[in-house]
């Protein structure tokens, strides 16, 4: 079954539909692979083998009777540990929530289950989802697929690691400032952040509710689109025939292309060349609203995050890794008037950004400005942790601040992704464009 575990989720769905693979055998193969992996406890917080096997049996029966519920019916996936699962601990990577067991599934998990997806278990993550590096000394730091001692990207670190190591066919994470796209980029996967509110957050442990989103991590754009649709409770879109011919792309030179390290600039420019060769018309330009919006992020994020978690943190501050705890506590410095004024200004900047990009199909830039740093270096130096975390999140956070939908694709260079961003509500159009871009970049 090793060759099956290396296939995309959509390919596995097709194999099930053709009668070549039984969901029971497939699920058992993934569960066995998890158990046999020496780093399993760094990837999965807990598996849900009983649930997975029961769901696989039902999927097998439906396949035999020709009653499959979706293209991914019977396909096993992993879920980030801040997405509620009934009767199974959901602790959001934090000792503050140790022993928390929800009574029901989150809406996105319930929808996906209804369409036949198999839940393998809950994956490790950054504490309360508040870091882009994926380093969590309080529970576990998942291994990066290229170097087990390098940062995996966060906060959906375990989900990305599970897919990249062949322990799940696809997975689901959350993205408040880049937490789906960063681990996807650093592990050579596709990561999709939908428009805010496109997917239900009911049953998802909050971080900053006005920025929180849920999104898929996967091997392909087709998988990401199918999983996104399943979480909405509907069939996936048809991406066949997608083309870059005549599309207009804007390389955002404001902030996003500044200070690139570790060969990120070369990987990005090579990607741009391939996109142009496939028919895209690429322009370059600066949008001053972006830099000003990023300057507001400190007020907006930390205020809401500390407002949500401050009481629990101060009741047991020793239960948190200090650099993450300090990020939360930064929210104490901002008053209510500052927070309200910052949101009012961000609304203006979002309008300016929309006006400046109205003539383009997508805005593109590197998914992250740097390659994954080594975990041991981050843990040894809290100032380095803070500075690398801010740089890591800089580019992905543009999509959250501007209210965009956003997707990262592998470039072919290890741990270097290229990110495509489109306006709010343009999720399906962006996925179609990304499918065409994926073909050009492969």
Active site residues: 80, 155, 179
SS3 of residue 289 by DSSP: helix
For residue 126, give both structure tokens. 């950054």
Q: Which helix (H) or strand (E) is 205 found in, with range?
A: none
DSSP per residue, 335-392 = -HHHHHHHHHHHHHHHHHHHHHTTT-SEEEEES-SSPPPBHHHHHH-HHHHHHHHHHH
For residue 216, give both structure tokens. 């898929």
Maximum alpha-carbon separation in the chain: 61
Contact 423, 253 (CB under 8 A): no
User: Which sign does the torsion angle of CA 254, 255, 259, 262 carry?
Assistant: negative
What's the rounded Cα separation, in Å, for the pair 18 and 64? 10
For residue 294, give both structure tokens. 């990023």
Phi first, then psi: give them for residue 406, nearest 5 degrees.
-155, 145
For residue 248, give both structure tokens. 């207009």
Contact 202, 209 (CB under 8 A): no
Phi first, then psi: give them for residue 288, nearest 5 degrees.
-55, -30
């Amino acid at each position: 079954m090793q060759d099956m575990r290396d296939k995309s989720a959509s390919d596995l769905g097709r194999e099930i539909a053709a009668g070549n693979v039984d969901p029971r055998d497939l699920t058992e193969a993934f569960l066995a692979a998890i158990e046999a992996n020496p780093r399993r406890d760094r990837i999965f917080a807990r598996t849900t083998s009983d649930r997975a096997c029961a769901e696989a049996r039902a999927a097998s029966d439906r396949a035999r009777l020709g009653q499959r519920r979706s293209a991914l019916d019977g396909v096993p996936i992993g879920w980030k540990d801040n997405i509620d699962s009934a009767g199974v601990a959901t602790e959001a990577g934090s000792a503050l929530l140790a022993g928390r067991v929800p009574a029901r599934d989150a809406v996105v998990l319930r929808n996906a289950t209804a369409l036949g997806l198999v839940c393998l278990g809950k994956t490790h993550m950054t504490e309360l989802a508040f870091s882009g590096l994926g380093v969590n000394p309080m529970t576990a730091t998942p291994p990066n697929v290229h170097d087990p001692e390098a940062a995996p990207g966060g906060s959906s670190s375990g989900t990305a690691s599970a897919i990249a190591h062949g322990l799940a066919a696809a997975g689901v994470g959350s993205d408040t400032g880049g937490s789906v796209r960063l681990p996807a980029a650093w592990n050579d996967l596709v990561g999709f952040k939908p428009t805010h509110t496109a997917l239900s957050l009911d049953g998802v442990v909050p971080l900053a509710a006005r920025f929180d989103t849920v999104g898929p991590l996967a091997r392909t754009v087709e998988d990401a689109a199918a999983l996104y649709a399943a979480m909405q409770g509907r069939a996936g879109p048809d991406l066949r025939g997608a083309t870059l011919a005549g599309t207009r792309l804007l390389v955002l030179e404001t902030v996003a292309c500044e200070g690139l390290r570790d060969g990120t600039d070369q990987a990005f420019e090579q990607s741009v060349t391939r996109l142009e060769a496939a028919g895209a018309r690429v322009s370059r330009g600066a949008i001053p609203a972006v830099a000003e919006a990023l300057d507001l992020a400190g007020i907006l994020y930390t205020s809401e995050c500390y407002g949500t978690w401050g009481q629990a943190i101060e009741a047991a501050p020793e239960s948190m890794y200090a650099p993450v705890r300090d990020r939360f506590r930064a929210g104490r410095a901002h008053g209510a008037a500052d927070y309200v004024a910052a949101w009012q200004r961000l609304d203006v900047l979002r309008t300016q950004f929309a006006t400046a990009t109205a003539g383009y199909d997508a805005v593109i830039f590197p998914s992250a400005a740097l390659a994954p740093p080594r975990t041991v270096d981050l843990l040894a130096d809290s100032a380095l942790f803070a500075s690398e975390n801010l740089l890591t999140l800089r580019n992905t956070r543009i999509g959250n601040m501007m209210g965009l939908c956003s997707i990262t694709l592998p470039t072919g260079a290890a741990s270097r992704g290229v990110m495509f961003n489109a306006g709010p509500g343009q999720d399906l159009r962006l996925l179609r464009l990304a499918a065409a871009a994926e073909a050009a970049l492969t």
